[in-house]
A and B are shown apart, each in its own frame.
Chain A
């Protein structure tokens, strides 16, 4: 039993960072009032660019490249939704489709259908003395993103609730006109949040191809971006809530892998497809239970127009 828990905890911590980063990124953008359904596309772009960059440079640098790539996609979203005030959901979905098709196209034309060549993974922090201690040992043996994912949510919490910038971001997501009448720049704040969100989503994607796997694969991130959105909603648009929800979803993912490997008899009872769908079903269940989106920022998805009052 303890062994099962140990391995569940280990794989949860291994799978969590991508979700945590993407959920924080989406939350940052949405708290400022800009819908972030494009997070899946930002992750995919980040994952692809990081994997390609890692062929030519040290992997940690490649992760940075992935972040910038995510922010690049976010910048397009920013232009569409802040500058040209287009429908933010449509803009985000369009970017998802572009990233989906573009990723496949570039992958196949550059490397063939089986993914990029293997790269050097981010190194893991191994402590042999601890590795076999039950439960405690599950905390070691991860790469840097895992530890970052365990601390960054608290930094975001501090940013939003305790800094002037955070106060302004919250205000601009709830009532942009109030912010404008105080002489602050609504679009400036929203740009900062959208680009910051893109960096985080790009980081989430880069982690997939440099820490979880050792390459960019055809289907990356396979809906993880949407799961991150679900985590953000489930976490009521708060950093710590999104963090907890992301951990919960990562646990669901680990449960799937764990069940398949530790209880092979289960596979005879339950179709493999059902197990594969488990994390997504969990997501649906959780969102269904939560009900209305009463905690969303009031001005979410509404383009700011100065003349309308």
Chain B
């Protein structure tokens, strides 16, 4: 059940923001407005008249357009083909691609976008793809434009540009509904803010009359949460960002500003080169060092080699060139088994595909990878008792809910699945921990916990490499940050020099002048 008695008023010609935690029901509510989901109960009035939206076709016909969080573009088609899909101009029964290109170019120009209608979508940057999505909706005559987490994948510069685009649309008389959980950004651009919590709309306020922390309390619902969040400070994060989850429980392990790395080197890599899945070079000479007892953030726009780097460090992807030492052994002949033997822990991006077997029980998943060692095995046999005991212990320590070792992992929420993965990897006491997007899709409580665990691993002396697309997360946790752009390091910042704008510039490929 993702929506429960949610109400929303949308006023023409305004920019309304809908905020809430992950899983609060923002996307579900928007999918109802767009005719993709059908509500069990409730009414939907447009211009005072009740309306039933059976499919997106109805929504489009009534002037509602939506830009989904995960773009709904066909990557192999051109910009123009994507925009006109479903209402294609024809000449004598055949597609009139020239006219399509002209029309799309005209729409793009009218709203001030730079787009080549003949470019294939998979050659465009994420920012441009988003513009294609917006043009697609406007081309269909959208008066109300819903944007679902539009800045999640954008650099700060691209986000600024998007904010201008949204204001521009409102000035032209369109209505924009912005879904986001980035409060600072929301307050900078919205006229009005609706707050959702657990499937309900709990507040509607004017943006000019509220603050980040007031919104954050509304989102989290102070006093209404369980023990998981007790004591979590709801504050602005470092560098003035609006990180809501800044630290959990005993947040005593926060990085000290400007501390230079001092522990022994656990990873020293030079000029790493590797190919991506498509056979094209994904890493083109990446050098980095990681010391014991520090968190090294890897920032970058999605698809700039971060995933491949994490795979190289965990033995999942073969090197094409370059060399390095990882925990006393060469990097060149690393395999997953060798990485594990040397003490590499891995929290991969796609946990269902790579970290767990979702149909197996929690305790079986906890044993995976260490299933031949005590306490999970005794000789050639599974040690059921030892496994159960260790699992119970971990479930308590890591606050996994429900704490049931026999439950199939897939029956748990994403946040609890991730806690199980983190628990398993940290329980092996890794010397180098590689984590990719550790908190994607988790709610605030789980985010805080995972962050606390990463700091704990660091305090225990592990070197942590954290790849994240979430700049706030990188800023909040990292002692040092490398920026990757097109498979190269375009920036290297110690904590004291961290600056969101500069990071963003480097993420877009701006040349490095220090580091």
Contacts and interface: CB of A to CB of B under 8 A. Distances in A.
Contacts of B94: 158, 162-163
Query: Of residues B59, B75, B94, which shows the largest number of chain A Cβ atoms within 10 Å of its Cβ?
Result: B94
The listed residue with most B CB atoms (<10 A of its CB), out of A158, A178, A179, A309, is A178
Contacts of A171: 74, 77, 81, 85
A166 B90 CA distance: 12
A105 B192 CA distance: 72
A175 B70 contact: no
Determine the main DSSP class of A at the interface with B.
helix
A181 B60 CA distance: 9
Nearest to A183: B57
Nearest to A307: B37
Contacts of A179: 74, 85-86
A170 B74 contact: yes
Contacts of B90: 163-164
A167 B95 contact: yes
B282 interface: no
A167 B77 contact: yes
B73 A183 contact: no
Contacts of A181: 34, 36, 56, 66, 68, 72
A167 B90 CA distance: 12
A190 interface: no
A183 B55 CA distance: 6
Contacts, number: 72
B60 A182 contact: yes
B95 A183 contact: no
Interface string A137-160: 000000000000000000000100
Contact of B72 (A164, A167, A170, A177): A177
Nearest to A182: B86
A160 B147 CA distance: 32
B56 A168 contact: no
Interface residues of B, number: 28
B84 to A, nearest CB: 8
Interface in A256-299: 298
Given A164-B90, A171-B77, A171-B85, A178 B72 contact: yes
B473 to A, nearest CB: 22
A171 B73 CA distance: 9
B210 interface: no
A109 interface: no
A73 B72 CA distance: 33
Pick from B56, B85, B94 the residue with the most CB of A within 10 Å.
B85
A30 to B, nearest CB: 14
Given A167-B95, A181-B56, A183-B56, A175 B74 contact: yes
Interface string B51-69: 0000111111000001011
A168 B60 contact: no
B95 A164 contact: yes
Contacts of A163: 90, 93-95
Interface in B420-476: none
A184 B86 contact: yes
Given A163-B94, A181-B36, A298 B85 contact: no
A110 B7 CA distance: 68
19 contacts: A162-B95, A163-B95, A167-B77, A167-B81, A167-B88, A168-B86, A171-B74, A171-B81, A174-B74, A174-B76, A175-B74, A177-B72, A178-B73, A178-B74, A180-B36, A182-B86, A183-B57, A184-B85, A298-B75
Given A170-B76, A181-B56, A182-B56, 6 more contacts: A170-B77, A175-B73, A181-B34, A182-B72, A182-B86, A184-B86
